[in-house]
Amino acid sequence: MTKPTVLISGASIAGPATACWLVRAGFAVTIVEQAVGLRSGGNGVDIRAEALAVIERMGLSAKVCERAVETCGLRFVDTEDRERARVGTAGLEAMVGSEDVEILRGDLCELLYDATRDDVQYVFGDSIASIMQDSDGVDVTFKSGKQQRFDLIIGADGLHSAVRRIAFGPEAEFTQFRHHYFAAVSADLPVGEHHWTTFCNEPGRSAAVYRAEPGHGQLTFMFYSAQPLTYHYRDLAAQRRLVREAFTRMDWHVPAMLNALDDAETFYFDSLTQVRMESWAKGRVVLVGDAAYCASPASGAGALLALTGAYRLAGELAAGGIAPTALERYAAAQRPIVKLKQSQLFTGITVPRTRIGIAARDLFLASPLTGVLSRWKSDRSKPLHEYTFPDAALYPRHDQR
Ligand SMILES: Cc1cc2nc3c(=O)[nH]c(=O)nc-3n(C[C@H](O)[C@H](O)[C@H](O)COP(=O)(O)OP(=O)(O)OC[C@H]3O[C@@H](n4cnc5c(N)ncnc54)[C@H](O)[C@@H]3O)c2cc1C
């Protein structure tokens, strides 16, 4: 019997994770990625709660833990480098209500690619140009000119998803600008304490340094902007310029950070924008991860939503086949966590907008009551439904290969 065919757009987190489960569900999977190779870069992303269960069920826990970023917690200093507050890892885990493994986004992407490359056909340097669907399948034309028919298309191509634009409508119809910009750069600056992330704030702007072993480290810039800024998403020079402009005349180690920003090979910049859609499916096209429900880097939940969404989408397709009811069940299972995470942004902690806000944040985090309040407020990790994948025996867990 021929396997149903699925085309996934995007080879970051949601795409390869969905593919990993779909091959176990008996689908023939192709992934098209517009970049010419896997995209490296990005800061640490958090794998927590149900996402840890997804990684465990893939058999990737050991590999993820091997590559985990060693983190001790967050420190908050003033522009004179005097510490105002610190929260250790245990305190942060109490705040988010779950154990948490942090891994560089590029490392997680590479692990998921390695876990799927033998079973999935990867096509780099191309992307979907048009989609024409009928009741039996979907005809896709690629930018390269190639044409192919598939049974299902999955958009896992991030915040600026082309699949969403082509199949559902313009980006502006589904996105909400959350008034901040975020930049991440890999660079080693001798700032703060080893394995701690040190934040320095001025109203509406936040500069942070994660200090690791020599040769490694991460810098993060976040700033408030009342209006969306105008720039082209491929114009990295313009994006660097915007960060520079936003951080002019800020002291602390910011001038050195801005110099490192110019020299760094990996640089990621985007607005804090959320994707909110009433439906993630249209006929034989469905969205997963940031393409469907980006919560923004200030949620700390991008990887969590991508991994759980991938598992639920593939699990429902395994149970119900390519049918509207399966896609509806995926949405029903994934909606509650999306709703929760989109409502929990950390901008109040990471980028207070006034001096009083910064002082109040420092007082709150330094208070012994914080842990108690956080535990009371936080969402506890919920058990993740266990799906059955008919071809699972053909593709053993990665820790059993
Ligand atoms: C380079 C990079 C750096 C990032 N850094 C951070 C960070 O520091 N902190 C943070 O919180 N989040 C970061 N993110 C976002 C984070 O990866 C996601 O929030 C989360 O992991 C969900 O992943 P996703 O796979 O749904 O989307 P994404 O990780 O955004 O991946 C989308 C993928 O689709 C590809 N793509 C886009 N358009 C097309 C197209 N037309 N055709 C084919 N492929 C396409 C992209 O190249 C990318 O590989 C970063 C994303 C990228 C791509």
Domain definitions of the chain by residue range: 5-71+104-175+275-347+388-400
d(CA 184, CA 209): 10
Strand partners, 44: 104
Q: What is the pLDDT of residues 161-191, one digit of tens each?
A: 999 999 999 999 999 999 999 999 999 999 9
What is the average pLDDT across 373-385?
61
Whether the pLDDT of residue 55 is over 60: the answer is yes
The CATH H-level superfamily of 5-71+104-175+275-347+388-400 is: FAD/NAD(P)-binding domain (3.50.50.60)
pLDDT digits (tens, 9 = 90+) for 261-271: 988 888 999 99
Is 60 exceeded by the pLDDT of residue 373? no
Q: Is the pLDDT confidence value at 223 over 70?
A: yes
Q: At what angle do helices 369-377 and 89-96 cross, to 10 degrees?
A: 30
pTM (global) more than 0.85:
yes
12 CA → ligand 1 middle, Å: 6
d(CA 191, CA 255): 13
40 CB within 6 A, ligand 1: no
Distance, CA 287 to ligand 1 centroid (Å)? 14
12 lines ligand 1 (CB under 6 A): yes
Residue 115 φ/ψ, nearest 5 degrees: -75, -15
Q: Per mean pLDDT, which of 46-55, 62-71, 149-158 is the most reliable?
A: 149-158
What is the distance in A from the centroid of ligand 1 to the CA of 4? 26
From 157, 182, 273, the mutation candidate for ligand 1 (largest count of ligand atoms within 8 A of CB) is 157
